[in-house]
Structure 1
Amino acid sequence: MPVTQAGAVNTTALYVPDVYVQIQPPSDTYLNGVPTNILGIVGTAQWGPVNSPVIVGSLPDAIQKFGNVQNRKFDLLTGVWTSVLNGANNMRLVRVTDGTDVAASGTLGATGVTLTSKYTGSLGNSIAVALAAGSASGSWKATVTLPGLVPEVFDNIAVGLTGNAIWQAIATAINSGISGLRGASGIIIATAGASTTAPVAGSVTLASGTDGATGVTGTTLIGTDGTTRTGMYALRSSGASVAFLADCDTSTTWTTQVAFGLAEGIDMIGVGPSGDTISNAASAKSTAGIDSYAFKLLHGDWVYFNDTVNNVTRLVSPQGFIAGRLSALGPNESGLNKPLYGIVGTQKSYANAVYSQADLQALAQAGIDVIANPCPGGTYFGSRIGCNSSSNAVINGDNYPRLTFYIAYTLNAGMGIYIGRLQSPTVRNQALGTLNAFLSGLWQQGMIGDVTDVSKQPFSVVLDDSNNPPARVAMGWMQIDVRVTYLSVITKLLINVEGGQSVRISTQSITPQ
């Protein structure tokens, strides 16, 4: 009396009289929406893996994995800091270099063990390795320290060994760990030399590590695609829904960012050069040919930021502030008029100037957003236009790319369960049920809707003979047509006021208190 999973038994081949039980999965399948709070950032750092997306959840976490905030352009940690201040808590960080980065190194004993930092970068110059007598008689202990990290202690190494075998044992302990006690070092790599001289207690501080940040350009941040991906392309399949290349103000990179954003379903945040004029910004955007909902361009009115790590108030790109806020909002929300935090001022506000209606109109017409103070909601810094770079008024809001990508990629991730199944009425109904349940959930959460009638279903799902003719079905096709009505973002609030001694109010027009 076998019990099997559904589909594991060919029922046409059963000849033996018996009970055959098949465990059926639930007929109702639900879609779990893809996360929309993942923020991708590409930039330089003083430590960490290169061209590899690393999961980070906070600023201390980022510092532990990439070193501290640097007062320089393209700094990855500055982008993290400004993003975290505005709600980012789930990031994928990619460190890039100009190729001149070097790992710090040092030696214990003349030719005993060469120690090299696990990653390139100047932070490696703070690594210290001490060698002392171990806890067990006749053994050695190596202690690896790096400020901000828990010291790594490798104790009771090389018990009873002599000559070069001691150095080999020290290198093996650092590289492979000590069984049952601790794992391999996450800070350094050790290479044993040819020395046969017995070790002497002492320590060494690694040196000559460099960041490889001096020659980084916008092209470096873009990187290359292919088998080995670098820069921006390292974010492929990372799950990022919003991303930016830290301080990348090179207009020739914008069209490449657009293509990447469309291909990966990422809302890319770009920026113009510091101190840019509105007319030049509009001209640069036009020349670059940027007109896409997948790219949000910020005006080059950079932000003054209080960098308490380097004890300086400095100009930084507005990208992190906007990207962090968007990643913290629901995909149906706009960044328009939302307060931004950590801003001391902007280049415009430091000049004791504000944007006129003419200025803002020029930016809006060009499809360029800007951080400004005041905002319609009060005297705070915030996104003043809330637009992407598309010229289509129906899809140029912050909410369009994020909600559209959210729906599309959720369906892409969840509907694959129907591939390989037989197109029967039952399967069609199950597919319809899966989509209806997902879209109903969005409606119930207030993420989609029809403002003309709150009871009217704001979506439709068609899967029948009208869009699946027999000839196409026979070729293996099943087509589902989905339409969704998004809630509109209020960008213009018009209030008509009529007042005067001659104005008469009818009782029918009085609003109840």
Structure 2
Amino acid sequence: MLFQLGQLNATALQAPGVYPQIVPPKNRYINGVPTDIYAQVGIASWGPKNSPMVIGSPSDAQRLYGVQQVRKYDLASAIAIGFQVGAYNQRVVRVTDGTDSAATVNLMDTNATPAIGASVAGIYTGTVGNTITAGITAGTKQSTFKLTVTLPGYAPEVFDNIAGTGATFWQNLVSAVNNGQSGTRGPSQLVVASIGVGTAAPNVVTTYTLASGTDGTTTLTDSVLVGTDGTARTGMYALRGTGAQVLNLVDVTDQTQWTAINTFVLGEGMYYFGQGPAGASYSTVGTSLNTAGVDSYGCKILVGDWEYWQDNVNGQSRMMAPATFAAARCASQGPHLSTLNKPIAGITGTQRVNANQPYSNADIAGVVAARLDLISNPCPGGNYYGAQTGRNSSSNSATNGDNYTRMTNYLGMTLAQSFGWVVGALQTTDLRKTAKGSMDAFLSNLEQAGMIGDVNGGPAFAVQIDANNNPSNRVALGYLQADVQVKYLSVVFDFLINLEGGQSVQINLKQ
């Protein structure tokens, strides 16, 4: 018989014999958490509410949320921009103001005075439901009926061979839609059905179109996208535990929400991208940032110089919030990199660029002093649109770079998710060595990948788990402490070039 290590008390064996114990490998290797998960919150014409959904392609987006609309807070537009910029791993939350409704239609029987046999409603609220059709025809088997539900972009849902007469047929139809047909097909992914009062055979001539679906945008405000925390989380708070590391609340500009947003992202290990209202100067937005009291590496706030984007679905150039572009660009690159001077695709202009009002060096210095960022063209590297400061809203020069936020969250989340196995284990020398070895190996991999290090040759990291930082009195209380230091690579903000020229210059070639 084989025993797993820990199953057998080797000090209390009674019967003579051989007791093989399976010892798990002592080396544990860490793989970093994903850093490309890009979270967005906004409004849509279809899809679940306050539920984070994985969006990995434009077809996923259209299937779940409908096509992009020319309106504020539009999720489909923000998702499209994300894919265009390079953010291919999105977690998306749809919100409404509570006025949303599902499209519905009644399926009628053939009584002299037709009665409602069953009602069908969109499985989600929203105007996409108004394009759903439902029709009953003769089934494949004799004396049965077939219900076909269609929505453009989806495969038709066919519920065939529904048997029964009178009220029994209608009950069987409702069951087929809501519960599926055993061995044939599952429940509908487009509609839900409810029983009516009809007792006659169904109308097999009419194709019904659902109607009266609404998106829930009548009284929408920025606070709806921020949402509420608690048992029933809404808006931004629905993203708890998703692992998203970059957050965009589509088109949100309300400075009174920044404090709550900052508290949330610091706790979840996210990096929030926001902006001032369209046309707001850096001095105005900087004042709003100071008023909000947000001095944190968790948030990047951009000035109110909004971008123009060609919406090919609706055939027009639209003014879009800068955070929608900057956040997607940040999510699409490694956590050790800055957004500074990185090209951002999809932008055709900005308010300032289109008005032929380029930013001067003094303007950029003012943006830096205000703890903000902006997108403009040209960049130091060429004539393209990109972030101009690469800074978050922290006033601490040691923590105000994009790379500080992203790397700190990446390392913290990776370590938090990699050492749960330590809890409940006995604190032994082997346990300490295994934990330290795992951290050393992970950080060494980062150094070799060029993600951390000291350009002047010093150590890139240090990990301590020994008696010096784990005294006996704390060990007795159940504590195990690891002290980890990591040297981030520095981002070049300013490149100084000293040029000495002239006929009298003496050139000394230094080896």
Asked if these proteins are the same fold (TM beyond 0.5), I'd say yes
Aligned to 1:321: 325
2: CA distance, partners of 1:23 / 1:457: 38
State which of 316, 332, 336 in structure 2 corresponds to 1:332: 336
Q: Measure the CA separation in 2 of the matches of 1:233 and 1:258.
A: 12
More moved, 316-325 vs 378-387: 316-325
The CA deviation at 1:425 is: 1.2
Question: 1:126 pairs with 98, 114, 131, which one?
Answer: 131
Match of 1:162 in 2: 165
Deviation at 1:311, TM superposition (A): 1.6
The reply to whether residue 194 of structure 1 matches residue 197 of structure 2 is yes
Check the 8 A contact 2:341/2:387 in 1, yes or no: yes
Hey, what does 2:178 align to over in structure 1?
A: 175
1:14 Cα offset (Å): 2.3
Q: CA deviation at 1:485?
A: 0.4
- Could you list the runs of 5+ residues in structure 2 that have no partner in the other structure? 109-114
State the Cα distance separating 1:364 from its structure 2 match. Answer: 0.6
Query: Which deviations, in whole Å up to 9, do the C-alpha atoms of 1:418-474 show, x marking residues without a partner?
Result: 111111111111111111111111111110000111xx4310011111111111111
In the alignment, the residues of structure 1 paired with residue 70 and residue 165 of structure 2 have an alpha-carbon distance, to the nearest angstrom, of 49
User: Does 2:28 align with 1:29?
Assistant: yes
The equivalent residue for 2:93 is 94
Distance, in Å, in 1 between the alignment partners of 2:462 and 2:283 is 44
CA distance in 2, matches of 1:299, 1:22: 63
The match for 1:484 among 454, 478, 486 is 486
1:189-214 CA-to-partner distances (Å, cap 9, x unmatched) read 01121211111212110000000013
Aligned pair count reads: 504
Work out the percentage of aligned pairs sharing the same amino acid: 49
Cα deviations by residue, 1:323-356 (Å, 9 ceiling, x for unpaired): 1111111110111101001111000111012101
Match of 1:48 in 2: 47
Residue 6 of structure 1 aligns with which residue?
5
Q: CA offsets, 1:75-105, max 9 Å, x none?
A: 1111111111111111110000000000000
2:112 counterpart residue number: none
Letter of the 1:135 partner, please give it.
T
1:62 is matched with 61
Does residue 1:247 correspond to 2:246, yes or no? no
Task: Compute the RMSD of aligned alpha carbons.
Answer: 1.1
Match of 1:291 in 2: 295
Question: What amino acid sits opposite 2:382 in the alignment?
Answer: G
Instruction: Using the TM superposition, give the Cα deviation of residue 13 of structure 1 relative to its aligned residue in structure 2, in angstroms.
Output: 3.5
Deviation for aligned residue 1:363: 0.4
Distance 2:125 2:494 in 1: 51
CA contact (8 A) 1:37 1:90 kept: yes
- What residue in structure 2 maps to residue 78 of structure 1? 77
Q: Report deviation, 1:501.
A: 1.5
Distance 1:35 1:10 in 2: 40
Amino acid aligned to 1:290: V
Distance (whole Å) between structure 2 residues aligned to residue 279 and residue 326 of structure 1: 24
Q: CA deviation at 1:504?
A: 2.0
Q: Which of the residues 219, 223, 237 maps onto 1:219?
A: 223
Q: For 2:222 and 2:16, how far apart are their aligned partners in 1? A: 72
Cα-to-partner distance string for 1:100-136 (whole Å, 9 max, x where unaligned): 0000000110310100100001111000011111111
Pair 1:402 & 2:375 matched? no
Task: Tell me, in whole angstroms, the C-alpha distance in 1 between the residues paired with 2:41 and 2:72.
Answer: 12
Letter in 2 for 1:175: N
CA–CA distance in structure 1, aligned partners of residues 83 and 212 of structure 2: 32
Greater alpha carbon shift after TM alignment, 194-203 vs 3-12: 3-12
C-alpha contact (below 8 Å) 2:135/2:208 kept by paired residues:
yes
- The match for 1:184 is 187
Deviation at 1:176, TM superposition (A): 1.3
What TM-score comes out, normalization by structure 2 length?
A: 0.97
Q: Is the 8 A contact 2:282 2:372 kept in 1?
A: no
Assess if the C-alpha contact under 8 Å between 2:282 and 2:370 holds in 1. no
Whether the aligned pair in 2 keeps the contact of 1:108 and 1:203 (CA below 8 Å) is no
